[in-house]
Structure 1
Amino acid sequence: MNELSGFTGVALSGSADDNLTAKLAEFVRHREALSPNTWRQLLSVMRISWRWAQENRRSFLPMSSDDMQDYLFHLQAIGRSTSTISVHAALISMLHRNAGLVPPTVSPDVVRAKKKINRTAIVSGERTGQAVPFCRQDLNRLDAAWQHSPRLQHLRDLAFMHVAYGTLLRMSELSRLRVRDISRAADGRIILDVGWTKTILHSGGIIKALSPRSSERLMEWINAAGLAGEPDAVLFCPVHRSNKITKVSTVPMSAPCLEDIWRRARHHAGAKTLLKTNKGRYSSWSGHSARVGAAQDMARKGISIAQIMQEGTWTQTQTVMRYIRMVEAHKGAMVALMEADSWPD
Structure 2
Amino acid sequence: MSTLIPPPTIPDWRLEFKRLEGAYAPSTMRAYYTDIVTYTRWCAQTERTPFPGSVATVRAFLVDQGPEFTPSTVRRRIYAIRKVHQLLCLPDPTHDEDINLTFRRIRRSKASRPRQAKGMTKNYLDQFLAVQPDTPWGLRNRAMLSLGYDLLARRSELVALTVNDVEFLCDGTLRVLIRRSKTDPEGYGRVAFTSKRTEQLMTDWLDWRSQDFQPLFNPIYHGHVMDRHLSDTSVKHLIKSAAKGAGLDPDEANDFSGHSMRVGAAQDLLKAGHDTAAIMRAGGWKSINVLTRYLENAECNVWL
Asked whether the 8 Å contact 1:146–1:158 carries over to 2, the reply is no
Match of 1:104 in 2: 93
Aligned-partner SS, 1:251 = coil
Relative to 1, partners in 2 of residues 1:255 and 1:71: Cα closer, same or farther, differing over 3 Å? same
Q: Does 1:45 align with 2:35?
A: yes
Partner residue, 1:316: 287
Structure 2, unmatched stretches of 5+, are: 1-6
Which of 123, 138, 148 does residue 154 from structure 1 map onto? 138
Residues 53 and 60, structure 1, Cα contact 8 Å, conserved in 2: yes
User: What secondary structure, in the 3-state scheme, does the structure 2 residue paired with 1:32 have?
Assistant: coil
Q: What is the TM-score of this pair, normalised by structure 2?
A: 0.85
Cα shift at 1:289: 0.7
The CA deviation at 1:118 is: 1.1
Partner of 1:339: none
The equivalent position to 2:8 in structure 1, one of 11, 14, 17, is: 14
Distance 2:91 2:275 in 1: 42
Residues 207 and 330 of structure 1, relative CA distance in 2, 3 Å threshold: closer
Which residue number in structure 2 is paired with residue 232 of structure 1? 213
User: Among the aligned pairs, what percent are the same residue?
Assistant: 26
Deviations 1:222-273 (A, max 9, x none): 22x233xx342433233457xxx313x3211233433331122101222142
The alignment partner of 1:33 has SS state of coil
**Structure 1 gaps, min length 5:** 1-12, 276-281, 337-345
CA separation of 1:103/1:188 partners in 2, compared to 1, >3 Å: closer, same or farther? same
Out of 105, 118, 136, the position equivalent to 2:122 is 136
> Is the partner of 2:145 in helix, strand or coil?
helix
2:25 matched residue in structure 1: 35
Distance verdict in 2 for CA 1:233–1:31, change over 3 Å: closer
Alpha-carbon deviation of 1:73? 0.8
Once residues 298 and 29 of structure 1 are traced to their aligned partners in structure 2, the CA distance between those partners, rounded to angstroms, is 41
- Residue 307 of structure 1 corresponds to 278
Q: What SS does the corresponding residue of 1:303 show, helix, strand or coil? A: coil
Distance 2:26 2:134 in 1: 37
Relative to structure 1, the CA distance from residue 153 to residue 94 in structure 2 (aligned partners, 3 Å threshold; closer, same or farther) is: same
Paired residues, what number?
298
Query: Shift of residue 176 of structure 1?
Result: 2.3
TM-score with structure 1 setting the length: 0.76
Number of the residue aligned with 2:247 = 270
d(CA) in 2 for partners of 1:107, 1:320: 33
Q: Which amino acid aligns with 1:140?
A: D
Cα displacement (A) at 1:26: 5.7
Name 2:104's counterpart in structure 1. 115
Match of 2:157 in 1: 173
User: Is this contact kept in 2: 1:146–1:155, CA < 8 A?
Assistant: no
Change in CA separation of 1:237 and 1:323 when aligned onto 2, cut-off 3 Å = same
Aligned to 1:185: 169
1:326 counterpart SS class: coil
Tell me what 1:61 maps to.
Answer: 51
Query: Aligned partners of 2:301 and 2:61: how far apart in 1?
Result: 42
